[in-house]
Structure 1
Amino acid sequence: MKNCTLLFFLFFGIYFSKTQAQQQLHDGAYLYQDGINKHLMLVKDHYISFISYDDVRKRFQHTWGGALDKQHNLITIAIEYNSQDSAAIGKETQLSYRIEADSLRLKTANSYHLYIKQKKIPQDLDALWRITSRQQEGKMHAIPKADRKTIKILVDGYFQWVAINPAQKGFYGTGGGDYQYNNNRYSEKIQFFSRDNNRVGQELAFDGEIINGAWHHKGKSSKGDDIYEIWSKEITE
């Protein structure tokens, strides 16, 4: 009888742990579409970003995000940027969700939206990055850690950069889309760009190499300027 009881609790414990794991929000890219409007959610390294855009008519709409804490079916976001509502920056918000197969049903103020998890495309650059050095006039200059920062989220073939200053509630621009990294070559196709919608559809290619954990990024910007940047992983825990 004791053996049967032990087996029951062992089986139940394994089943419960597996069920909990299946219900967790995992890193990745999630997409919800409303007509031609796309609503992209990127989750990586305890950070989350929401982006709304229309790549057909080349219209950026909105982005917001910040550090992420996951507890069961509830996520808490410490908002670091919000392109529509600067008053929200510095505050926390909570959203409830439930996992449905490989998708995520996220509850907003008025309704649930079903975000479809995009295909897993793991690449060596997948991470939350922060720019820490930039070449100017032939010399590399360090960018000290400060309130103002530019971060870049890469996960499962999607990327987004965002320039912000959470302490000043500042939002200075964002852009993103699809990316690939192979044999030290990084390429991206822009799907949204807050500063200039005409950049949407551009495809750019760069040299990219990870050296001592830092990402060395060389090439030409979307304006055609030479760039050499070094990005380091951003720690949010």
Structure 2
Amino acid sequence: MKKLMCYCLVLFACSLGYAQSLVGAWEATMEKDGRTLRNVVMFSASHQVATSYDAETGAFVGTNGGSWSLADNSLTETVEFDFKQPERVGTTSSFEIVLTENELKLKGADTVWKRLDDGSPGDLDGAWLISGRMRDGEIQKRDTNRPRKTMKILSGTRFQWIAYNTETKEFMGTGGGTYTTVDGKYTEHIEFFSRDNARVGASLEFNYELKEGDWHHSGLSSKGKPIYEVWSLR
């Protein structure tokens, strides 16, 4: 009996390790209509986002994502948002992948995704939903189960926020790029922004602190207004 239990634990550990090897950020580039598109996909432990934008100008092309799971080499995704095809929201699909330590591809496809990071070195790797804001000196909580969501997915070096509604399938906006967490300072370097290309190239610095598992985020917004937000892991 003990041998059987040990064997099962080994199998579980191996499968968990394989699933976790997807966690982090991956990149592929492609040429289309005379320009180079940068395609980045990020996997947290439970959610993923894939985004395409012009590698030179940062002009936004599209994004989609949702929850994911991996069984052997079969990747299953349930769509929560899709900029180009909102009708896909709520649907689930599975496809086979070929995965090595530093390369990822769909079985039978030519595009190869190269690993950018494995969830480190940044402190905020994961999928986060905004769960509160400071108003009049008090933190007002927000229901993260409602259809209207603002999510941030971060790998070890990259971030992306997405605003969407799973009930109406509406997509409101997104932006992302790279980030660092150093000495209590969270700094974003924007590489794409769906609402305004003029934001591309900007850097924003905030204070951050992890309290009881929540991410407390404060400073000045891109418009110079004070903000204090609380984000909770999914």
Asked whether the two chains share a fold, i.e. TM above 0.5, the reply is: yes
Closer/same/farther in 2, CA of residues 125 and 21 from structure 1, 3 Å limit: closer
Structure 1: gaps of 5 or more residues: 1-13
Q: Secondary structure at the match of 1:198?
A: helix
Closer/same/farther in 2, CA of residues 185 and 72 from structure 1, 3 Å limit: same
Closer/same/farther in 2, CA of residues 137 and 29 from structure 1, 3 Å limit: same
Deviation string 1:107-146 (CA, Å, 9 cap, x unpaired) is 48xx331000113433221111110111345543221231
Deviation string 1:31-85 (CA, Å, 9 cap, x unpaired) is 0011421000100022111000114223100000110010111111000000011
Distance of 2:172 and 2:107 partners within structure 1: 28
CA shift, 1:153, in A, is 0.7
Structure 2: gaps of 5 or more residues: 1-9
Closer/same/farther in 2, CA of residues 211 and 112 from structure 1, 3 Å limit: same
Task: Tell me the residue number matched to 1:27.
Answer: 23
> Which amino acid in structure 1 is aligned with residue 40 of structure 2?
L
Task: Tell me the residue number matched to 2:117.
Answer: 119
Greater alpha carbon shift after TM alignment, 46-55 vs 96-105: 96-105
Task: Tell me the residue number matched to 2:95.
Answer: 95
Kept in 2: contact 1:44–1:155 (CA 8 A)? yes
Closer/same/farther in 2, CA of residues 171 and 20 from structure 1, 3 Å limit: closer
Q: Secondary structure at the match of 2:112?
A: strand
Closer/same/farther in 2, CA of residues 20 and 178 from structure 1, 3 Å limit: closer
> Which amino acid in structure 2 is aligned with residue 177 of structure 1?
G
Greater alpha carbon shift after TM alignment, 136-145 vs 162-171: 136-145
Distance of 1:102 and 1:55 partners within structure 2: 21
- Root-mean-square deviation (CA, aligned residues, Å) is 2.6
1:38 equivalent in alignment to 2:34: no
> Which amino acid in structure 2 is aligned with residue 93 of structure 1?
S
Percent identity at matched positions?
A: 33
Query: How many equivalent pairs are there?
Result: 221
Map residues 1-237 of structure 1 onto 2, 5 A cutoff.
21=17, 25-35=21-31, 36-107=36-107, 111-120=109-118, 121-136=120-135, 138-145=137-144, 146-234=146-234
Q: TM-score, normalised by structure 2?
A: 0.86
CA shift, 1:19, in A, is 9.7
Kept in 2: contact 1:55–1:200 (CA 8 A)? no
> Which amino acid in structure 1 is aligned with residue 152 of structure 2?
K
Kept in 2: contact 1:39–1:52 (CA 8 A)? yes
CA shift, 1:213, in A, is 1.1
Task: Tell me the residue number matched to 2:7.
Answer: none
